[in-house]
Amino acid sequence: MTPNLIRQAAIVLSNLLTFSSPADAKLSEFFRNNRDLGTKERAFVAESVYGVLRRLRFLSTVTANDENDPDDARKLILAWLLRVQGMSIRELEPMLSEQQKEWAHLIKAKSTDNLPLAVQADVRDWLWDKLVAQYGEAEALTIARSMHEQATLDLRVNTIKGTRDEVMAKFIAENTSGETNVTKTPYSPIGLRMPNRMNIGRHVLFTEGKIEVQDEGSQLLAHLVAAKRGMMVADFCAGAGGKTLAIGALMRNTGRLYAFDVSEKRLHNLGQRLKRSGLSNLNAQVISSETDPKLKRLNGKFDRVLVDAPCSGLGTLRRNPDLKWRQTPQDVAELNVKQTNILARAAKLTKVGGRLIYATCSLLRDENEQIAEQFLAIHPDFKLLNAAQILAQHQIELDTGDYLKLLPHLHNTDGFFAAVFEKLDAATAPVLSADNEVEATPEVTPSLEAESTLEAVPEVEEVAAEEVPTKTAKAAKKTAVKKEPKPKVAKAPKDDSAASTKVSKVKASTAKTKAVKA
């Protein structure tokens, strides 16, 4: 750690606090513009800015002189080092200016007694209220605090090319320290877990297609789809295809597997992963929206249809902490309409006796149980299946009730939700009486085109790789995406060295409202 490195981290953080785009994209751009930074220096910058984003509301409190004091990126970095990382002022003094030393003493002395629970949870008031209403105060605080921790690195073994024991043995053999650096995931039978983040993209097991980066919860979703050999399966919001590839491996490269998405770029990324995977039964197709006319010919054809729906991504805050500051109640309400419409359209693709699987990486009932219950009320030709029983058929002992509900503090995965519906024969399906009819949410189109899950949330299982085009249909013209209102901008650190000329200056906000206040 050096004074210049602290300054660089503050410059990046100041840019991220505009919350105008995903944090990982801005951080990647900074590293591309500063290729002289070494591996350890990059790690410090990344850990510092993500550490601040995880604890932003708490750190804003300990750095503020008064309630309306705007955030300062340099103070926030100092506060993270002193109050979260536990460093002493004595350790930091050689790297601090006189002004920064004054800040450090004030930050260290700031009392945090009797902080509001939303501040302790490090979330906005609206999100805290929703979590408390759903989980109760105690569990809501536990869930929120579990998101302060960095996620583990989970890997999925590609069973087309190897076994979990073979891959694990390879990793253990490489570990020169003599300690086991990899363990088996407790639930997924094809998962491995690394305790620390590492650059896996150039590892021989990755380049040979024997492993993919994928959270254990996402792996379990593929088992919940429970596709069998020879089936016809659709991943309706495929993104870059992490779950698609997992499903294909479970199908043992038989049957037909379709990957639909509104983004040609993401399906191109799937093409690179597909080459490594060894799968040959996958057909990737770009669609303009869930109402794309080309889907009509496929109605009633699929044994399994997975809807990994566009969602708030609030279950992935360990990996994407900026989402809790970027998302708003209005965003969630708009997503609810999209989720309803996409699920209704996917239902038409499902054959009688087939299954429709609805999933999100959200913690909120609004995006999960509420959507599932509404779907069942409107579609009497579908019934809910018990998720625990389906997993048990795959020797996965995990019972969270009728729905699959994963939480970081309980399962050490991202927050996931899934519901499995089976389509009934129209002749035997119950008929709703006029008194029991539920009015459907009016269909809004196009909703997939507006913002899919992987636009709102970086796909957690994807590893950066060179994009290689696949043979896909031409993408439909993109519709404009509404910009989110920007919170206040942090004060930009002074550019006192030549190195800083490589980074765009960020204007200081004149607003007096704190960035993390609801």
Residue 303 in 3-state DSSP?
A: strand
Cα gap 294→291, rounded to integer Å: 9
The predicted structure's pLDDT at residue 176:
54
Which residue, among 28, 22, 82, 31, has the nearest Cα to 53 in the 3D structure?
A: 22
The predicted structure's pLDDT at residue 181:
79
For residue 442, give the DSSP letter: P
Cα gap 3→162, rounded to integer Å: 47
423: buried, middle or exposed (CB in 10 Å: 19+, 13-18, 0-12)? Answer: buried
The predicted structure's pLDDT at residue 96:
87
CB 276 within 8 A of CB 208: yes
**H or E element that contains 269:** helix 264-277
Cα gap 408→118, rounded to integer Å: 19
Cα gap 336→317, rounded to integer Å: 20
Please identify which residue in the block is written with the tokens 């993500």.
Answer: 50
Beta-carbon contacts of 35 under 8 Å, excluding residues fewer than 6 positions away, are none
Cα gap 69→101, rounded to integer Å: 19
CB 340 within 8 A of CB 372: no
CB 17 within 8 A of CB 285: no
Q: Give 378-400 pLDDT, tens digit per residue.
A: 999 999 999 999 999 999 999 99
The tokens of 288 are what? 């303009």
Q: What are the beta bridge partners of residue 284?
A: 259
Q: CA-based Rg of the chain, rounded to a whole angstrom? A: 24
Which residue, among 382, 362, 357, has the nearest Cα to 224 in the 3D structure?
A: 357
Cα gap 451→431, rounded to integer Å: 35
Please identify which residue in the block is written with the tokens 């996409």.
Answer: 342
Beta-carbon contacts of 135 under 8 Å, excluding residues fewer than 6 positions away, are 143
Beta-carbon contacts of 456 under 8 Å, excluding residues fewer than 6 positions away, are 310, 311, 312, 313, 323
Q: Give 8-52 pLDDT, tens digit per residue.
A: 999 999 999 988 889 988 998 989 888 888 888 898 999 999 999
Taking each helix axis from N to C end, the angle separating 3-16 and 39-54, rounded to the nearest 10 degrees, works out to 50
**Amino acid type, 40:** K
The predicted structure's pLDDT at residue 180:
58
The predicted structure's pLDDT at residue 498:
37
CB 419 within 8 A of CB 358: yes
The predicted structure's pLDDT at residue 411:
95
**Torsion region of 280: left, alpha or beta (phi above 0 gives left; psi -120 to 50 gives alpha):** alpha
The model scores a pTM over 0.75: yes
Beta-carbon contacts of 431 under 8 Å, excluding residues fewer than 6 positions away, are 380
Q: What is the pLDDT along the chain (518 residues), one digit of tens a residue?
A: 788 888 899 999 999 998 888 998 899 898 988 888 888 889 899 999 999 999 999 999 999 876 666 778 999 999 999 999 989 888 888 888 888 888 999 999 898 888 999 999 999 999 999 999 999 999 999 999 999 999 999 999 999 999 999 999 998 888 755 455 789 999 999 999 987 677 788 889 999 999 999 999 999 999 999 999 999 999 999 988 899 999 999 999 999 999 999 888 888 888 888 889 989 999 988 998 888 999 999 999 999 999 999 999 999 999 999 999 999 999 999 999 999 999 999 999 999 999 999 999 999 999 999 999 999 999 999 999 999 999 999 999 999 999 999 999 999 999 999 999 999 987 666 665 444 444 443 333 333 333 333 333 333 333 333 333 333 333 333 333 344 443 443 444 444 433 333 333 333 343 333 444 44
Query: How far lies 505's CA from each of 45, 325, 495, 501, in Å?
Result: 17, 22, 8, 8
CB 256 within 8 A of CB 333: no
The predicted structure's pLDDT at residue 220:
96
Please identify which residue in the block is written with the tokens 């590293």.
Answer: 31
Cα 342–chain centre separation: 19
Do the strands 183-184 and 382-385 form a parallel or antiparallel pair, or are they unpaired? unpaired
CB 276 within 8 A of CB 209: yes
The predicted structure's pLDDT at residue 270:
85
CA angle 181, 186, 192 (to 5 degrees): 40
The predicted structure's pLDDT at residue 198:
74
The tokens of 103 are what? 């800040």
Cα gap 76→12, rounded to integer Å: 12
The predicted structure's pLDDT at residue 267:
84
CA angle 214, 452, 291 (to 5 degrees): 125
Cα gap 460→191, rounded to integer Å: 15
